[in-house]
Amino acid sequence: MFKKNKVLWFLLIITLLGSIAGISLRMANEAQNKSLVMTIDYREFDKVAAKANVNLDTLLEELKAKGLTRASVKEVSLRDLEFAGKVEVRPFAEVKASIMNENYRDFKVVLHQIGDIPVSPVNLTIITSDKDTIEFLEANFSRRYKDDEIVSFSLDDKHYFVINTEIAPPVKTKEEEFPQDVLIGFDTSLMDKLVADGFEIVLSPGNSTGTNLEYIDDYLPIIEDYNIRYVVINGEVSGAPDNIEKMAKLVSDNDLIIGLIEMPVQLGFLEQKGLKTLIEDTNYPVNRVYSTRNDEYLKNVDERYYRWVRGVVDRGIRIIHVVPFQNDKLSYSENLEDTVEVIGRFNDTIQTKGYSINNPINILSAKTPNAVHQLMVGLSLLLGFILYLAYLFKINRRYLLALLGLGLLGIAGLTIGLAADFSKLYALAAAILYPSLSSLLLLIYIRDNYEHGFFRQVFTSLFIILGINAIGMFTIVTSLADIRFIMNIEYFRGVKLAFLLPLLLFILNYLAVFSADEGLVKYLAKYFSKKPNYFILMLLGIGVIAVYYYIGRSGHTAGVSVSSLELRLREVLESIFTARPRFKEILIGYPSLLVLVYLYRKYRHELIALVFGLGVMMGSISMVNSFAHVFTAVTISFNRTVAGLIIGLIIAVLVLVGVMILEKIYKLLMAS
């Protein structure tokens, strides 16, 4: 089979070797990305510990005993101070009315201190008698707001600060509404205590609502004094949207790593004002963050634990940001206990899988493959497409050469002349082309070599499927190779097309292989005119069920949910392998292949090739699609594919035995 078009196969191998720069870049980055940072949200743990009446220092010691030594510190906000009992926060109208009603002379004193500055009745007013808090507010407000944006006055032992400017509206979620809040500044005394207790600080700065940006200068001594390595933006970038230069300089000068919080839907990162500009201006010193707030819908702690593990292994997450669990059926203290327990289990498991929780994360290379690499990828796909046409339609060699020449000119012109980037398009083309080509070559082999022994057919079929699909895997990886894809800033967008189009092409492959010289119309008419038997109806029923499961589990478009049995099986497979194999491969793909070889070799009924070939195709698509999950390390996808081969063949043998038993039962029934 491969002796035909051997020149095209040789050229394909050459172009694949010429496009190795992309996969080399990606593998080098992934080799440097084996460390894991787990950090707690200090503010959230502080609040929940208080509600649970748990001593925070004791809780922090328990966390350290479980291997967690990092704490994410946000700037102190008004509501933090209010929660700590250090201030009272009220609208200015309420403060004004209270003072007037108690003593009108006091109100005149206040008016004298305010002067002619107009103050809106809804503006937030902070009231405190604590001297340290007054000093903290005065120092930080002066660096975040202009003089007329903070109106302050004193009355007896109380000091009042009015934020005399527009601030962000209250935050509303499905569960609750959070009141208006503003950031004030970092509490260095808290940082001193955490460092003394053995915690590394993860900085979580946010943007000020004021117009004075001097506060950003305060970040530098904090970064230097506390050896800050990681920054996770809280809300929006300081200085956004028009004055991000200071933050960009801080990040670049201090080799900081910016954490990108992954969206709950796992498509891209959480868009925060100014964040995309910041990472572009600093040349992508980033790594991905999984916020455990995203799994609040999970009430079972085991499910949360496995989700964290899958986040690191399957999705390439390297920063886990932990907030206390919020299961409303449990008390605050029980939720804290569960959180600490899962942190310990997770840290133990993740180290056994080869990840370090103590070493720092590295800044990865932001290089991108050059135009020559793009050209080689494009040419390899062109050659693969021409090979597909050659086997499908048996096109004359002269036409193939003409098509090759035109394609070469087109790809060279677009890639070099226009300097266009077709990385995502090339990956999509590979995800469609190579499963289709592998199924076509498989059908040709099965049709022409049924006289070969069973084991020879199985091994040759596996060679065709794995070998051709490996080209697709390689092409996807080497196309989507730079850090933008690894960090899910840019992502593979053709998932549904890559899942469905090869299935349609398989029907074309089948008709081209088995209609032969009859022609498509006569071939179909012949089958529609036949009286169907139970065997054929059973085959078609199996095919419909497999297609339904396949489409339903590819984006859940048909509402096929994951059963509890499958969840348990996933957990077992994850405990055995580094990454669990895909169910479409082990339950559909490999069993279909062995049954196809066995039944077609024995009965040579063409519908056998249609139904079970379709199953093989589903496994092939899933196999190649694993490598389109670009945030997953190549080694993990490779391990998953090998695990799928091992488990898939074991299941396939069991299924084949079952088919043989059913075959005997069917013959006995027909004989009687």
Dihedral, CA of residue 477, residue 479, residue 484 and residue 487, to nearest 10 = -10
For residue 575, pLDDT beyond 90 = no
Q: What is the pLDDT, as a whole number, of residue 558?
A: 43
Mean pLDDT of all residues in 58-63: 95
Tokens of residue 563, six digits: 């059963």
User: Is the pLDDT assigned to residue 173 strictly greater than 70?
Assistant: no
With pLDDT > 90 as the criterion, what percentage of the chain qualifies? 54
pLDDT over 70 at 35, yes or no: yes
- The predicted structure's pLDDT at residue 606: 84
Q: Is 165 helix (H, G, I), strand (E, B) or coil?
A: coil
Give tens-digit pLDDT for 174-224: 666 678 889 999 999 999 999 999 999 999 999 887 788 999 999 999 999
Q: How confident is the model at residue 523 (pLDDT cuts 50, 70, 90)?
A: low
Closest CA to 511 of 525, 497, 529, 530: 525
* Amino acid (1-letter code) at residue 62: E
- Work out the average pLDDT over 533-560: 56
Highest-confidence segment of 106-110, 330-334, 397-401: 330-334
Instruction: Name residue 97's amino acid.
Output: A
Model confidence at 275, pLDDT cuts 50, 70, 90, reads very high
Mean pLDDT of the 283-295 span? 92
Segment (H or E) for 124: strand 124-128
Looking at residue 567, its pLDDT comes to: 62
Q: pTM of this prediction? A: 0.85
pLDDT exceeds cutoff 80 at 530: no
Taking only the tens place, the pLDDT of each residue in 454-470 is: 999 999 999 999 999 99
Average pLDDT, stretch 421-428? 90
Residue that wins the pLDDT comparison between 100 and 384: 384
Domains within the chain, CATH numbers bracketed: 33-75+186-352 (3.20.20.150), 81-163 (no CATH), 423-671 (no CATH)
Residue type, position 112, single letter: H
Query: Rounded mean pLDDT of 434-439?
Result: 96
pLDDT band at 518 (very low <50, low <70, confident <90, very high): low
Residue 276 pLDDT > 50, yes or no?
A: yes
Quick one: pLDDT at residue 1?
63
pLDDT of residue 241: 86
pLDDT tens-digit map of 576-588: 777 778 888 998 9
List C-alpha distances in Å: 476 to 479, 480, 582.
5, 6, 18
Share the mean pLDDT of the chain.
87
**Tens of pLDDT along 383-392?**
999 999 999 8
- For the CA atoms of 354, 355, 356, 360, the dihedral, rounded to the nearest 10 degrees, stands at 140
Angle subtended by helix axes 495-515 and 520-529, to nearest 10: 80
Question: What average pLDDT does this structure show over 27-44?
Answer: 94
Section 261-286 average pLDDT: 89
Distance CA 340, CA 345 (A): 9
Residue 342 to residue 346: CA distance in whole angstroms: 6
Which structure tokens are listed for 438? 């592998």
Q: Give yes or no for a contact between 127 and 88, defined as CB atoms under 8 angstroms apart.
A: yes
Check residue 541 and give its pLDDT: 64
Position 106 pLDDT exceeds 90: no
Evaluate if residue 30 carries a pLDDT over 80. yes
pLDDT at site 480: 93
Report the 10 Å Cβ neighbour count for 594: 25
pLDDT tops 80 at residue 565? no
